[in-house]
Amino acid sequence: MSNIHNKVRKVLKAACLEAGKIISANYGKDKNIRSKGANDWVTTQDIKVEKVIINIVKKVFPNSNFIGEETGTSGNNQAMTWVIDPIDGTNNYIHDYPFFCTSIGVMIKGKITYGAIFDSNRNEFFYAQKDAGAFLNGKKINVSKIKNLSDSLLCTGFITSKKSFARKNLANFRRLIFKARSIRRDGSAALDLAYVACGRLDGFWELGLNSWDTSAGVLLVREAGGRVVNSSGKNFNILKNKSIISANKGLLKKLIAEISSDEV
């Protein structure tokens, strides 16, 4: 592994583990919560975790750009951008529902090149590097080989702070609910994508997502042998697209045929 690859991986691992400590320390306890908008919430831990991640990154890569869910965009170096979701699944975290994670994607010259997702509940560290594979706790992972919708376990999401997207996705859900073996709605798009990457889910789709929701997960799925597209069936761009469909290659076309959105 070259020096830059090794440095980025170490920083991602260190940042995720430190984030996990903060998140776990407050799991099962009362949390300080405030509203960011209609049905959109943030905890003190979300903000603290994001700042800690940025500080860890800056110690090794001081000139980095950052796109963070809570702190916004900062920096002016276009060569390296870290895309951070400190707690993906904040509503789950607030309710102590154990399905949330920290997600960090790293863009090099505008292309997603590294990604990490850490589930502190299960001590699972997902990592991907472009053209080098996807891994779970150091072991290589691959998407499932399920080819038929009738055999598939799918997952979706409904972002209730964005009601128009949620309403549109209900039609997709209705089309697929009896065509798949079963469908889940877990509340963390990043972790859902990680589960597609390691074959626990056969496919995932959602409308209305942001770059911090998808940056690491998209790379994980692609490096695990799967595909990620927007609702038009074109290659998914984390900075431009809101609607995502991910699956193994055999299942993807069947999902594209069932899922529609007037905004890609």
Average pLDDT over residues 72-78: 75
What pLDDT digit, counting tens, does each position of 193-202 carry?
999 999 999 9
User: How much is the pLDDT for 83?
Assistant: 97
User: How much is the pLDDT for 73?
Assistant: 81
What one-character DSSP code corresponds to residue 245? E
Structure token digits, residue 121 = 């509940």
Specify the residue for token string 């997902």: 126
What pLDDT digit, counting tens, does each position of 11-29 carry?
999 999 999 999 999 999 9
Measured CA angle at 188 (ends 258, 244), to 5 deg: 35
In this structure, which topology does domain 3-140 adopt according to CATH?
Fructose-1,6-Bisphosphatase; Chain A, domain 1 (3.30.540)
What Rg do the C-alpha atoms of the chain give, in angstroms? Answer: 17
pTM for this model (two decimals): 0.95
In this structure, which topology does domain 149-258 adopt according to CATH?
D-Maltodextrin-Binding Protein; domain 2 (3.40.190)
Domain ranges in the chain are 3-140, 149-258
In Å, how far are 125, 143, 225, 229, 230 from 255, measured between CA atoms?
28, 15, 17, 11, 11
Across 66-84, b (16+ Cβ under 10 Å) vs e yields: bbbbbbeeebeeeebbbbb
User: How much is the pLDDT for 141?
Assistant: 98
- Residue 74 pairs in a beta bridge with 66
